[in-house]
Structure 1
Amino acid sequence: MDKLSALTMFVATAEFGSFSRAAEQLGKTPSALTKAVGHLETELGTRLFERTTRRMALTEAGQIYLEGARQALMQLQLAGEELDQLHHELRGSLRLIAPPSFGPAFLNEVCCRFMDAHPQVRLEVHLNDTFLDLIDGGYDLALRDGPTDLPGLIARPLTENRILLCCSPAYLERKGLEVSLETYLQHDWLIFRHPVLNRHFWWLRLDGERIRVPQPVPKLASDNFDFLLTCLLAGHGLQIVPQWSAAPYLASGQLVRVLPEYEMEPDAFGPWVHVLYLAHRRRTRKVRVFIEMLEGYLRERGIA
């Protein structure tokens, strides 16, 4: 019997928990699946399922073999996709997840460029602050600032997570008060609230010296970064903003940087924004092409 077919039938049987349901899904007969699993058990010299009249369950050996079979089938599928796309347009689907703030900052434009360049690829983009498991969620890649020491994932740095203190020129004119460590508590503040961020103090650096400063009482606090950014551009106060978000507004003059001599530490979000993907996806052409386009766009903006 064809080994690939036998593995496919074994995996389906394990996932559906019965020969009959798996057979219906694959368009085969239950006896064909029974025979395929039997061939595998004979070849391996061990039982893959415990069978009773009421139920069937994977043995310990079956659980180990299932993981290997899934990986083998996935690798063959990926290899087939790569061969098919060597001389053809990219096609299929690409699923990714990223924080909502990445959308208007750079991801919207990158996705539009990607769709223009590769119209046969279906994009599915989830903007969510909660980091979801790439395997369980079926994602090809993720963008993330924060911890990246996750098993089975490759973390590729995209851009430095440099933190700036910004406001609009209109705010400075209206407030009429310079921004310094002596006066910053007298200013209006727009503060992003996130479960991993410290709510009590910030760390600054000046000439190698690390300085702890208390956080001011915000005029406006929110768990939505882009909501705060709109208020910042409208002149309602000071806000701590990552450079990858502030860059176009600084270039256009809509925002100015204050206290530029101080370096602000990025807190729990870490010093880099990374693109994350599963190790077995590293050679997938559509993933590689999307990452290259993303890196190219950030270089254009001067924030790579």
Structure 2
Amino acid sequence: MDKLSALTMFVATAEYGSFSRAAEQLGKTPSALTKAVGHLENELGVRLFERTTRRMALTEAGHIYLEGARQALMQLQLASEEVDQLQHELRGTLRLTAPPSFGPAFLNEVCCRFMDAHPQVRLEVDLNDAFVDLIDGGYDLALRDGPTDLPGLIARPLTANRIYLCSSPGYLQRKGVPVTLETYLQHDWLIFQHPLLHRHFWWLRRDGERIRLPQPVPRMASDNYDFLLACLLAGHGLQVMPQWSAAPYLASGQLVRVLTDYELEPDAFGPWVHVLYLAHRRRTRKVRVFIEMLEGYMREKGIA
């Protein structure tokens, strides 16, 4: 029996939990799947499933073999895609995940450019703040600020996570109070709430000195960054924000920096935004091309 077909049928049986359901998905007969699994068991000399009249479950050997079979099928699929795309334009599906705030800041534009350049590629973009598992989620890559020491992942720095304190010119004019370490508590603050962020104080640096600054009571707090950004642009206070988000509004004059003599530490988000991808996908051409386009856009906009 063809080994590739047998592996495909074994993996499907394990995932669907029965020969009949797996056969329906593959367009095969249950007896064909039973024969394929039996062939693998005879070849290995072990049982891959424990079967009863009511249920079937993977044996310990079955769990081990399933992981290897999945990896083998994935590698063959990747190799086929790479060979095909050496001769043809990029095609297939590219799945990525990122925090919602990355969308309007830069990811929207990069994805639109990528689709224009590669019309045969289908993008699936999942915007959420959760640190999802790339394998379980079926993602090709992720954009994240925060912890990157995850097993099996390559973390490629994309842009520095420089943190600014910003306001609209209209708010400062209306408030009439300069922003200093002595007066900052007199101002209205828009505070982003996130599990990784410290809720009680900030750390600032100037000339080698590290200063602990109590976090002000917010005029408005939210777990949605873009909601707060809209209020900031409308002139409702001050906000802590990363440079990659602030850059276009600073360039247009919609926002200005305050406390520019101080450097605000990035807290648990860390000093870099990273592109994360699985080690075995480092050579996938569509992943590589997307990352190159992303990096090029960041350099073009001065936020690399």
For 2:88 and 2:55, how far apart are their aligned partners in 1? 46
Query: Unaligned regions of 5+ residues in structure 2, if any?
Result: none
Match of 1:59 in 2: 59
Match of 1:37 in 2: 37
Query: Unaligned regions of 5+ residues in structure 1, if any?
Result: none
Q: CA RMSD in A?
A: 1.3
Match of 1:297 in 2: 297
Greater alpha carbon shift after TM alignment, 58-67 vs 166-175:
166-175
2:5 is the counterpart of 1:5: yes
Deviation at 1:29, TM superposition (A): 2.4
Match of 2:70 in 1: 70
2:93 is the counterpart of 1:93: yes
Greater alpha carbon shift after TM alignment, 261-270 vs 13-22:
13-22
Structure 1 segment 61-210 matched on structure 2, within 5 A: 61-210=61-210
Question: What secondary structure is seen at the aligned counterpart in 2 of 1:6?
Answer: helix
For 1:182 and 1:238, how far apart are their aligned partners in 2? 15
Q: For each residue in 1:139-170, what CA deviation from the matched residue of structure 2 results, as whole angstroms up to 9, or x when unmatched?
A: 11111111111122211110000000111222
Question: What secondary structure is seen at the aligned counterpart in 2 of 1:54?
Answer: coil
Deviation at 1:276, TM superposition (A): 1.1
Task: Give the partner amino acid of 2:111.
Answer: C
Structure 1 segment 246-265 matched on structure 2, within 5 A: 246-265=246-265
Greater alpha carbon shift after TM alignment, 261-270 vs 11-20:
11-20
Task: Give the partner amino acid of 2:125.
Answer: V
Deviation at 1:53, TM superposition (A): 2.9
Deviation at 1:110, TM superposition (A): 0.4
Greater alpha carbon shift after TM alignment, 28-37 vs 103-112:
28-37
Q: What is the TM-score of this pair, normalised by structure 1?
A: 0.96
Q: What is the TM-score of this pair, normalised by structure 2?
A: 0.96
For 2:44 and 2:189, how far apart are their aligned partners in 1? 67
Task: Give the partner amino acid of 1:25.
Answer: Q
For 2:55 and 2:174, how far apart are their aligned partners in 1? 74
Q: For each residue in 1:239-279, what CA deviation from the matched residue of structure 2 results, as whole angstroms up to 9, or x when unmatched?
A: 11100000011111111111111110111111111111112
**Equivalenced residues, count:** 304
Deviation at 1:35, TM superposition (A): 2.1
